[in-house]
Amino acid sequence: MKCPYCGKTEDKVIDSRMSAEGASIRRRRECLACEKRFTTYEYIEEAPLMVVKRDGNRQRFDRERIKNGILKACEKRPISMEKVEEMVDEVEKEIRRRADREIKSTEIGNLVMEKLHDVDEVAYVRFASVYRRFKDVSHFMQELQKFLE
């Protein structure tokens, strides 16, 4: 590690601590040349996860899109922001566990529907109606029948 004060590369680590989330490590270092102290952080470099859309296009995974979809489905429902964040976290963990570098958008939608199904029936039906792109009321009723069973 290059000292930010003198530019030398010889240093020693005085203290290492993991962040609260476990996503990074904070290291306190001391330069052996000028004896000044500085802090560095280490993060895991994740390979970008790509989402394959229905039309075949690919785009980077964006957890905010999942969150926005869940928020729209849960609008005016008694669901806390903590619960929404928890669902988003669970979906993201499952996506990263399943996928290597790419995942189909349909898989993501199904995961979100599973989470909503367990939390709130109305939010589930709202999300399903947009996600499944019902063409008419009969398709919508078929989905409701599955849910009621």
Model pTM score:
0.64
Q: What is the pLDDT of residue 23?
A: 76
Q: What is the pLDDT of residue 19?
A: 77
User: For residue 72, what pLDDT band results from cuts at 50, 70 and 90?
Assistant: very high
The pair of structure tokens assigned to 142 is 């078929």
pLDDT digit string, tens, across residues 75-124: 999 999 999 999 999 998 899 888 678 999 999 999 999 999 899 988 98
Q: What is the pLDDT of residue 147?
A: 63
Q: Residue type at 60?
A: R
Q: Answer whether residue 38 shows pLDDT above 80.
A: yes
Q: What is the pLDDT of residue 136?
A: 67
| Distance (Å) of CA 131 to CA 33, 49, 100, 110, 118 | 61, 21, 24, 9, 17
Q: What secondary structure does DSSP assign to 71-99, as a single string? A: HHHTTTSS--HHHHHHHHHHHHHHHHHH-
